[in-house]
Structures are given as structure tokens and as C-alpha cells.
Structure 1
Amino acid sequence: MKNLLRTFDILPFVLNKYPQEVAIAGIEANNNNTWKRYSSQDFYDIVQYVSSGLLEMGFRQGDKIASITTNIPEWNFLDMGMSQLGIIHVAIYPNISQEEYKFILDHSDSKLVFVSDEAHHKKIKEIVEQSDKIKEVYVIHNTIKGIKQCSDLIELGKKNYAKNKNTIEAIKNKIDSEDILTIIYTSGTTGTPKGVMLSHKNIMSNVIATHTIQPLNHNHTEISFLPLCHIYERMLNYMSILKGISIYYIENLNAIVGSLQEIKPDGFHTVPRLLEMFYDKIIAKGKDTEGIRKKIFFWAIDIGLNFSFEQKRKLIYRLKHHIANRLVYSKIRKSLGNNLKIVISGGSSLQIRLQKLFWAIGIKVIEGYGLTETSPVISVNHANPPNFMFGTVGPTIDNVKIKISDDGEILVKGPNVMKGYYKNEEATAEIIDQDGWLHTGDIGTLINNKFLKITDRKKEIFKLSSGKYIAPQVLENKLKTSSLIEQAMILGENKKFTSALISPNFNYLHFWATKHKIHFSDNKDLIKKPEVIKKIQQEVQKINSELAIHEHIKRFKLVHDTWTSQSGELSPTLKLKRRIIFNKYRPLIQEIFSTEQFDSQHNFGNEDIET
């Protein structure tokens, strides 16, 4: 492992140690949606051809090339092919706005762009035509004549590989681990995206530190569906390749359930929202049963929600769990492919109850924490005690140090900390202090001086007019534990009380409304129904019972929109774009706070909770 200093060092290592018939695979849209599988040798060879092709096109070390793709195996060929030449890969989300595409492509100084298909080519066509920096665009999956294809580049490289082989090796030998590998632009939830410069050393230090934590190996298979342009999936992708795990890439999130059945993977990486969707479907299916079957189902779910390692040691709980496993959990595992062993969750806070349920079912869900600026992992739970604790993001990884500042902010130092923001020394100096500590902006605490627990974002914590602090993410995550609530944004800065905008889980709400014979024409009509308002109010009151008085959500408004990254309310990593949401619903928010009448305890009665 000591010789694995740069990302492209992974390829010869794994080819020698874990040669696989299926190293990576993806769906061929133009071939009846069949799987195109690449062996370890195929993978290695195509990467060499990409490097050779880029050399023929005149690209040199330090040049920037952008990619805008969905989750496809070809991303790996391009990424590794660029890195071998010292070309800096600017990996861009495939679902951002035109304004963001324009800014990133210009700011990054990209000379070439790879896009996955015609749809993405169409998105940037006008931007490229107006750019004096971008030379060409190549499409990976292309059926339009006149547009250059990625296969053309590979063929060019293959044709000239014998001539370029020694040059490629010479360039590889000159690339230092401190050289910039990639520029990844943050999702811009609070303003203009910033380009995070990460070196080979940054990312490889994370790969090496986490590969022993991941229990899967070359005998196992994973599916990959999170964007490879995001450092979370990207680093884990490198790590899975290093371990010889066969990876099947899924472009369409709607294909996940079908792929679980077909591929029967041993693991995958996800964000909490997908696990919440799985949970909602599991519960909805249980509610469709009747009589004794329904009682047994929810008894088993309750057993799972109360899972703990302490309980597991008790004979009575083990007996109950054994029965629940035979009658219910085994069927849930079967619906998820019957082979799933481990799920790594990151990107946002994971609900403890869901994590406990999946552990009880027999699927270990481990949660980690990090930032793009830290390549990304800072801490992560392991697959077993004593290095696992529910409700935390685990111990810090090897070679990374953390400390908690006086105001509760998590500070980080280690080889994973970025080189800086591209063309933005001022922003770099704001986040990395003179002693080399990166200020995460997250508030946290160490439990037992070992396990890191995240409580909120420093910049998002606000004060009510009473001077009491509100940590919005904590309350938002509690609201989202309800099957009826998909997203929520907490409000109340400098106001007398806490309130919320709530975007319901319309899939589940439609099911609930139909079951209760509530007729509606559309979502806008549905959220006005008194029965719906009352039901959501009950959910809010249930959450309020767990909160301090000043945290109580005294009023809320339902919105008929589903918040997504495509519609702009969420970032590509599914974080709230608070400024955009606030501006979009400004009249609704003003209505919430238009009257602030309090009783003697400054506490609203039930009649004051509104929609």
C-alpha cells in the first residue's frame, strides 16, 4: 500500500492482485439495455488508450478537462486517463443550472468537455459556442452525426498507443502525490460555487485510511448510483476498485430496486433519503396487510426500531429477533436482493431509528462524515463495535486530527485537507487558519472522547428574539422522521417563535388520502384539505413533545411543491438551498409571522398551528 501514492497507481495494483472478469459494468442504452461488462484488463487498457488519445490531441500536464456525466463506467476511463497525464479533471454535476454550468466551465479554464449523452450536450451547447476557452465537446453515448464521440478518442489512442506508451510512463513517473488531481465545485447552497483543489495525496490518504474499514473485498459486488463527480462517491469508488470489488453503475435512480434484484449486490453507498424511501415502502407494504399478518409485521418493525447491541445480548430480545427474522426481516432482505450486507451512508444526517431497523434486518448501515474540502472523510463508524456507535458519525480516520473549538465548531487537520479554493485565496484563508486547521462550519461534540456527533451547521444556527438558540437541522431531521414529511425548513430568526415550511411526502400522502377516502384534484388542492392539515398538525405536535419549549414549532405552512435539485430547492447533494427557498416562499413566510400574539408562556395553543 505504501506505493499507492496517486490514484492511477490503483490500476496496476488491482490488475496484479485482484484481476476480475467483471471489474466495472454499465447499461448499454443502444443495446437493449443490456449490461456492458469490463474486465480488469479491459479497464487498464482503455485507460491507456484515453491517455494516448489525449496526448495526440495535444493535452499536457496542468490542462483542465471537464466532465458532465451520469453514473457510467466510462467516467473511470476518462478520470484515470486524465490523471496519468497530470491533466486536472473538473468533474461537474449533471443536474445543475445553466448559470452554474457557465460559471464553472469558465472559471475552471476547462479546454475540453465530456458529456454522457445528447441531453447534456444540449444543455451546454450554447455555453460552449460562446466560450473562447473550450475547444471541443465529446459525447460518450451518442447517436447524433456530426458530434464527436468518446469512442473516437479511444480509437485514436489505441491506434497510437505503441508510439505513446513510453511517453505516458515517463509522465506518470514525474507526477507527484502533491500535484492537483481534480477541481470539484461545491454545490453553492450559499452563493457562487467554489472550486476545491484536491491532490492525489488528499484523496489517496482517504482511500488508504478507509479501505480497512470497508468489510467487502474482491469476492463481493456493489452497485453505484450516487454522482461520481461528488467526492463522497468518487473516493469510495477508488476504494472499491482498489479492493477488487465488482461495481455495477446505475444511471437512473428509478432502476435501483430492479438492480438490487438483478445484480444482488453485497453493498452500496447512499444518502439517507434513499434509506428513508426504502423504509416508507416497507411500512406502506405492511399497512396493506390485514389481521394477524399486519400485527406480526409491525411487532417485528418495533423490535427492529429498538435494536441495540445491549439488547442483542439479552436472551429474550434474541428470541424475539429470531422470530421477527424468520417471519418478516428475511422477506425484507429478499426484496432488496437477499444479499445486501453493508450500506455506507453520508451526505446528511441519518435517522437513528432507520439505522437500527436495518441493523436488526441484517443490513449494516454505517454512517460517516466529511466535506468536499477534506477529500471527504473525517470520521466514520466501523462495521462492528467497539468502533461503532448509533447516533454518531464514528471515530476519526487514521492520520486525521480533530478538535472542538470554544464555540463548538469542528476543526480538522490532516493529509486529506484540500490544497485550497481555485483562484480564491481569500476564501481559502477564511476556512484554513494559519495553524493549518480547517474550520468545517459544523457544530459537534466528542462522545467518550472518541465518537464524533454532529449537531448542526454553525452558520445556520439562529437566535429567536428571546435570545434562545435554534439549531434548524436538528428540528428538520426530527420532522423528516414522519412518513408524511419529505422536506422541511425551520424558520424564526429574530422572531418570537419557531416555525416551518413543510413539503409533504406526496407519494405517501396520496396513499393515506386514498385510504381515508379524501378526494383531491392535485397536490395544491390536497394540502388544503382539513383532514390533511390535521394529520400533519398531529405529526408536528408529536415532534414538539420531544423538544424544548422554545424549539416548539408553533406554526407551519404546507407547500404543494416537491423540493428537488432539479427544481432548485435542494443542492445536488440534497441539502436545502435556504436562500432560494426563503425567496421563493417569501409571501408565505411573511404570512406565518404576520401576527405574533402570545399567551403568558409565549407558547401557542393547538389552534395557532396553521397551514
Structure 2
Amino acid sequence: MTAPGTGASSGLLSEQSPSFGHLFLARVAATPDRPAYQYLRGGDWETITYAQTRDRVTRLAAGLIDLGVQAQDRVAIASATRIEWILADLAVVCAGAATTSIYPTTTAEDVAYILGDSGSVVAIVENAEQLDKIRRADLPALRAVVLFDADGVPLTEGDPGDGLRLLSLDQLSALGAARLTRETDLIERRLDGIDGESLATLIYTSGTTGRPKGVRLVHANWMYEGRAVAALHILSENDVQYLWLPLSHVLGKVLTALQLELGFSTAVDGDLTKIVENLAVVRPTFMGGAPRIFEKVRAKVTLTAQGHGGPKAKIFDWAIGVGVRAVRLRQQGRSPGPLHKAQLALADKLVYGTIRERLGGRIRFFVSGSAPLAADVAEWFDAVGMRILEGYGLTETSGPVSVNLPKDTRIGTVGPPLPGTEFGIAEDGEILVRGGSVMRGYHGNDEATAEVLTEDGWFHTGDIGELLDGYLRVTDRKKDLIKTSGGKYVAPQKIEVLFKADFPYASQIVVHGDGRKFVSAIITLDPEMITDWAGQNGLGDRSHAELADEPAVQKLVQDAVDQLNGKLERWETVKKFIVLDRDLQIEDGEMTPSMKVRRRAVEAKFASDLDKLYQD
């Protein structure tokens, strides 16, 4: 068990700020004219300062108060990542209320449950599609819906009485502006009643089984995260963040909190298809992401380079090999020799610099979270000069509780604990966490809270791991461990991470085998990558479903499985597999809104296909 210092240091805004709203206003006061956010409007990037952000936020906050939102009421936000999400969230906390975050991909059934369970009184939604989900539900507490994009929606003129009021964001802002002319100190008075233990955010865990649970995160949780990361001295006000992550997810949310503590600027755009394109324009210094994004970038760059064939492909492969050898030496505490250094300099000139420039040319590091990052992917990015700092955290811990450090990144681990956080390892290998980021419990669910939170503050993560010289290594989810009929334990996550890192055409893999005589797998193909492959191999006229059955594709997958098996113990090897004719879908209940596989749901849906693999 390890417990480094408190993480407190003089001069931090969060030390003087009892709440997220206070922190926001303190940041504005400290750096009013510095750029706060960039966002796309009509194809062009616009910038607003912290002072301009305050003006927009306080009008929206006053508008919420004018709608009758009281201190500690819940206000839901259901939208993709965009500047309006951030402004709305800041407005909610400045009104003394708490944000209930909802993924835009959440089903209508779950939207109704979340809004009802949270008791949200106002919902702020992206468009008519999100509004339609709400209209299907019986939600007596909900009195108004505000739309970012209100085209085609008949908005409410005046107070509809007992009916549901529909407003545009501009209408909400106008309400607030009028209220502020009458009560200039409205926001300050509302914040006077909010402290560190007031509810700030309800994030509903998408969960892989059962109903989502509302995680109660108070203002003190977010203040802790800001202080702890500031104490690492890895970011400053001169940094520029590119933010595409879902803001309904805890990792996206915590990055907005870090910005207010440290004062850097953020470019916001939630379009996943434009990440690489936008990086080249925005030229950020860091970006948070999930492993799948890094896997796809690596695969795309590699396949493009190798597709040229001839000398270009050979030079690319040589350069990556030179870089990976250097990374592995550094991981052992050694340095490249003179010849190796000369090779690295040449490789940087020929290959690495081009890759970095494609991603903006200024990346100091990436941050990876939410799922395990394959060592091969981490080594590749490190080799080309864009290190990935893998971290670890859960919704219940307000995001990160550990992260690797730029000057001491240990691939295969998720870093040391943040200052002020303690790790413990239970007898069965479960990771325990205690510290300032741990939630205050599940909303309205004392029984579920008691199952994971001890009286002395330890949170049971449900993950299995070990501490290696103070650095945490996570091996699998406790509930996902497989025990074959031969009595051998298998960690499916390890196998799945290795496969996706090695096979660029894979989208998802679900390893199966609990109680079975061997391990099998369900595999899906990445639509973009397999379509490119098909076009290059005379199969461009085939649909995704047809490609899944194509003998050449089956051989492609089999070769990848054989390569995977060469890295595994005998009892871990994948003996048989199924290639699905489509990718896994959120809408079909196979993926969570945060893009995690619902393992049990997938195994149940394809149970008959899996059974056939074991009939011989």
C-alpha cells in the first residue's frame, strides 16, 4: 500500500474554491483575457476568452434559475461533445445545481430511467432526436427542455403552466440576461450556499449488466483532481488541449476541471472522424483518448506506409524498429549507443517527423484511459516521439487515480497513484482505492454503495492488479476472469488487448471459455480498415457481411489468431473463433455508451454459435 503526499501546494485556485462554480469564476478573474476555448463554426475555428466564457455561462445559469432551478436540483445534459455542452455544464454548477450527464447514444428506455432516478427538473439536449426520447417517458419532475439545435421544434412562448416548456439555448440566455439586469449578484448569492460536499455531478455508469447506477460526485472530488494533477507539474497554462472525448464520460469531464485549475486552452470537437484532420489545424500540445483511437491511428499510418511497398515501406519498418528498440532500452534503464543514436536521428528525419507533423507537430504527450492500452501501441507512439501516458480510474473515482509520468513512463502499468491517493491490493488481487477522488456513493442506492465502499473509505474497484515498485498494473476485471473446465484461469482482457494491437482489421474481440474445455472468441471487423483491405485485394464489390464469410478474410483472421496464440500460454490460446457479419452495436445492447463491450450480453446473444464451436 502506498500513500504519497497530500498534493497541496500554495497558490492553486482549487485551494481557494469550495466548488466547481467558484473555481470557474476564480479562473476568469485570474486570466480573463487568455483564450479559453476554440470551436468550429461554419468550418472555421472560433476562439473565446475566459471573460467571454463567463458572460455566456452566467446568462445561462441565471436563465436556469429563472426557470425555477433550485440549489442542488439536477439538470441533465444529453449531447455529443461540443462547446455548448461545456457552457451548459458550467452554467448548471454556477446555478448551484448538479449536472446529470447522459450519452447521446443512450436508449430512450435508459434516458427515461436516468431522468426519473435523478429527479432532473430540466434537461438540456442537443436536438430533436434527444427530445423525442424524453417525450416518450412519464417524468413528473421534468418541467423544461432546452435545445442546442432547435430547428423544426415548436418552442414555447411564455410559461406553459403544467406543460413541458421547450426553449432554445438563445431563449434561455435571454431569460438569464433579463434576470441579471434585475439581480446583478444572482450567481454569487446562489454559490454562497454551495460547498465542497454539495453534489456537483451525477454520472450514470453504463454498466455491463443491470440498470445504470448514479455515481454521486461532489465538488470536493473535482477540486481534488485539479490539485493532484497540478502537483505533477506535467501541464501548464501554456498548453493547448484537443478535446473530443464524450463529456458524459468521467475522463472527458475531468479534463474540463483540470483546465480551470491550470488555465490552459481547449479546442472542442466531438467528431471522431475528424480527429486527425483537426489535430493538424489546432496543433495541440496534448490530448486525452481511449486506446481504440490510438490503435486506429497506428494501424492507419502503418498500413498506408506499407501500402506504398518498395523502399518507402522498408524505410518505414526499419525506422519503427529502430525506435521501438530505443524505447525498450529506456524501459530497462539503459540508453542507445552512438550508432543507435545516429540511426534514431535519421529515422526521425525520414519518418517520425512526418508522423508528428500529421498530428499537429506539437504533441508533448497523449493520455490514455478507460480501457487497457496494448504495450505494442504504447511503444509505437513512444518510438515516433509522442509518448502516451496511460492512466487508470473509474467513474466512482472521478476519473484518474493514477497516471504515468512523462519522465518515468513504465509501459504495461498505469503509473503511480496521484498525490493524496492510496492503493491497496486485497487478498484476491482486487485493487482498492482511497483518497479525495472517491465518490460519495450511488444515488438512492445504499445497498450498492455498501458493496463497494468500506466505512474507512476504501473503494473496491472490481479490477485485479498488482503494485510494481509503486506503479500499478491492472490485469483484468474481477468478474470477467474465465476458468476453463480444466481448472485453468484465463484473463480475457489480456488476450483481447494483444489481438487488437496486432491485427489492424479488428474492431472488437470477445474472448469466451468459462467452464468450457478451451478458449474461443467472437471477432468483429473494423468497417473502414476491412473495406480498404478489400479494395486493395480485388474484393471492393463485397459488403461488410460478405467479407466476413470470404475465405481470404477468414484466412486473414486465422493468421492473426495464430500470431496471437504464439504469445500466450497453451491454455490461453484461442482454438476457434466466429467472425460476425457486422460490428457490435450500442443500440443492440452489445456495447455500453462509453464503448465498452457488454460481454455477457454478447455471449448470450451468440450462445448458439458459440455452442457449435464446442460440438466436435
Shorter-chain TM-score bucket reads over 0.9
Query: What is the SS of the residue equivalent to 1:91?
Result: strand
* 8 Å contact kept, 2:291–2:372: yes
* 8 Å contact kept, 2:320–2:383: no
The match for 1:434 is 455
Aligned partner of 2:91: which letter? G
The match for 2:163 is none
Q: Measure how far apart 1:567 and its partner are.
A: 4.7
Q: Measure how far apart 1:487 and its partner are.
A: 0.9
Does residue 326 (structure 1) correspond to residue 346 (structure 2)? The answer is no
Task: Report 1:487-526 matches (<5 A).
Answer: 487-518=508-539, 521-526=542-547
CA deviation string 1:142-172 (max 9, x = no partner): 2235221111111111122143333432231
The match for 2:597 is 576
Which one has more relative contact order, counting CA pairs under 8 Å at least 6 apart? 2
Match of 1:367 among 390, 404, 409: 390
Aligned partner of 2:150: which letter? N
Task: Report 1:70-469 matches (<5 A).
Answer: 70-127=80-137, 130-144=138-152, 146-147=154-155, 148-213=167-232, 215-306=234-325, 307-308=327-328, 309=330, 310=333, 312-385=335-408, 388-448=409-469, 450-469=470-489
Q: Distance in 1 between matches of 2:28 and 2:121?
A: 31
CA deviation string 1:317-360 (max 9, x = no partner): 22211111000011111111222222111010111121122122
Aligned residues: 587
Give TM-score scaled by structure 1 length.
0.92
Match of 1:530 among 551, 568, 572: 551
Q: Measure how far apart 1:382 and its partner are.
A: 1.2
Point out where structure 2 has 5 or more consecutive residues left out of the alignment: 1-11, 156-166
Pick closer, same or farther for the CA change 1:150–1:540 going to 2, 3 Å.
same
Match of 2:40 among 27, 38, 62: 27
The match for 2:164 is none
* 8 Å contact kept, 1:462–1:470: yes
Q: Measure how far apart 1:76 and its partner are.
A: 2.4
Query: What is the SS of the residue equivalent to 1:257?
Result: helix
Q: Distance in 1 between matches of 2:74 and 2:293?
A: 33
The match for 2:8 is none
* 8 Å contact kept, 1:369–1:377: yes
CA root-mean-square deviation? 1.8
Q: Distance in 2 between matches of 1:343 and 1:239?
A: 15
* 8 Å contact kept, 1:64–1:89: yes
Q: Distance in 1 between matches of 2:231 and 2:181?
A: 37
Moved more, 311-320 or 145-154: 311-320
CA deviation string 1:287-318 (max 9, x = no partner): 12232222111111222333232454432322
Aligned partner of 1:479: which letter? F
Q: Measure how far apart 1:566 and its partner are.
A: 4.5
* 8 Å contact kept, 1:23–1:38: yes
CA deviation string 1:186-215 (max 9, x = no partner): 012111100000100112111210124363
* 8 Å contact kept, 1:499–1:556: yes
Point out where structure 1 has 5 or more consecutive residues left out of the alignment: 596-611
* 8 Å contact kept, 1:52–1:165: no
Moved more, 142-151 or 59-68: 142-151
